[in-house]
Amino acid sequence: MQVLNIFEKLKNSTQEILSDQINYLKLKNAAEDLKSLFNELSELNIDADGFEQSVFLDTGEAIGLKWAGRCVDDLMRTRAFIRGLKRSIDEVKEKTPGKPACVLYCGTGPFATLVVPLITVFTPNELQLVLLEINPVSVESIKKIFKKLGAEDYIIEIHQVDAAKFAIPNSEEIDILVLECMQIALAKEQQVAITHNLYSQLKPEAILIPEEISLHLALVDGRAKMATFDAIVMGDIVYHKNSEPLFVLNKEEVRSNAKAFKQEGISFPKKKTLLPKAFSNNPCMIAITTEIKVYKEDILTIDESSLTAPLRLGHQDEQPNTIGITSQFLVNELPGLEIDFIE
């Protein structure tokens, strides 16, 4: 395909993803088009043998290239991150006119899915990129994609590194840090370790995307949830209730712990959390829910994406005496919450 055609196709998909109106069918087609463009540009078969292999690091797992490439299919996730990133770039441009917004994008995967669409919106005078990725095949793939798009002018540097350990050169230049290296309940992958390492090196006004990720103890009413899928039932049905956050990752948290974590390593305290008050007559699933404020209005709440599905801990049918949990977020080879029930 001609570069001009490719750019037009990329632009059309991007406009659909950025649209304020959500039309699921159009959004799905836009994501499909993006994926086929990425496949063509990268000349990579992400389903080939071996690409499902994770890289295991001492602060968690970096998922295999195959899965990283498939993240684009998580439609509401992809939409929220690209919209949030665009909005943050607009804000930086407004605050510092005439200067490009400098984005540090960590964990590009094979396609740099969250920024490539935005080259149809911003020029290299408006947007500059520092890209980090641990997987060498993904790094080669994104180099090829930017080259074939004639978009190398957007790139300051690409580093093949462990971002949880990386010292950012010229860190004061970075205006925005964006990363999505997570699963539900912030388990297994390295969102927490990477955010702490990278964001703590940036200037105070730097924007963090996602702006906030919070974990909650929740009651989820399975029957009410099923009813939301029933076309006859109109309107929003509340099928879950969250506790106050039991863990929060945002820039305030990173800044307040930065000094101590630099000296002693990342270590969070244990916390006691009671179940939220009953909101339904049905016994409920006891779960950890993940809320993601990507940026400003772009948020992902329960079941809106694979990242915000509830993590089942148990069920009130089986454990009617449970009143809460003690939890501690651990950062090690298998990061996540360590949980004990309270009766």
Closest separation in Å from C-beta 3 to ligand SAM:
23
Angstrom distance (rounded) from CA 76 to CA 132: 24
- SS3 for 231? coil
Angstrom distance (rounded) from CA 291 to CA 187: 14
Closer of 209 and 337 to ligand SAM (Cβ): 209
Per the listing, tokens 């049918």 go with: 317
Closer of 217 and 294 to ligand SAM (Cβ): 294
Token duo for residue 100: 């490009």
Closest separation in Å from C-beta 61 to ligand SAM:
7
| Per rule CB under 6 A, count of chain residues that contact ligand SAM | 23
Considering only 44, 46, 92, 132, the residue that binds ligand SAM (CB under 6 A) is: 132
Which residue stretch of 63-71, 206-214, 251-259, 273-281 sits at the interface with ligand SAM (rule: CB under 6 A)? 63-71
Determine if 163 is a binding residue for ligand SAM (CB under 6 A). yes
Determine if 138 is a binding residue for ligand SAM (CB under 6 A). yes
Length of the chain measured in residues: 343
Closer of 136 and 150 to ligand SAM (Cβ): 136
Tell which residue, 167, 174, 155, 158, has the closest CA to residue 99: 174
Which residue stretch of 22-30, 130-138, 242-250, 331-339 sits at the interface with ligand SAM (rule: CB under 6 A)? 130-138
Cis omega (within 30 of 0) for bond into 100: no
Tell which residue, 327, 296, 284, has the closest CA to residue 212: 296
Closest separation in Å from C-beta 42 to ligand SAM:
13
Contacts of 315 (CB under 8 A, 6+ apart): 283, 284, 285, 286
Cis omega (within 30 of 0) for bond into 210: yes
Determine if 107 is a binding residue for ligand SAM (CB under 6 A). yes
Angstrom distance (rounded) from CA 315 to CA 244: 20
Considering only 135, 243, 289, 290, the residue that binds ligand SAM (CB under 6 A) is: 135
Closer of 71 and 325 to ligand SAM (Cβ): 71
Beta bridge partners of 214: 248, 291
Angstrom distance (rounded) from CA 269 to CA 121: 43
Closer of 9 and 77 to ligand SAM (Cβ): 77
Determine if 180 is a binding residue for ligand SAM (CB under 6 A). yes
Closer of 114 and 246 to ligand SAM (Cβ): 114
Determine if 17 is a binding residue for ligand SAM (CB under 6 A). no
Tell which residue, 333, 328, 229, has the closest CA to residue 288: 328
Distance of CA 58 to the CA centre of its chain: 20
Determine if 290 is a binding residue for ligand SAM (CB under 6 A). no
Closest separation in Å from C-beta 180 to ligand SAM:
4
Closer of 75 and 237 to ligand SAM (Cβ): 75
Contact in structure between 266 and 196 (CB atoms under 8 Å): yes
Residues that bind ligand SAM (CB under 6 A): 57, 62-63, 68, 71-72, 107-109, 113-114, 132-135, 138, 162-164, 180-181, 190, 194
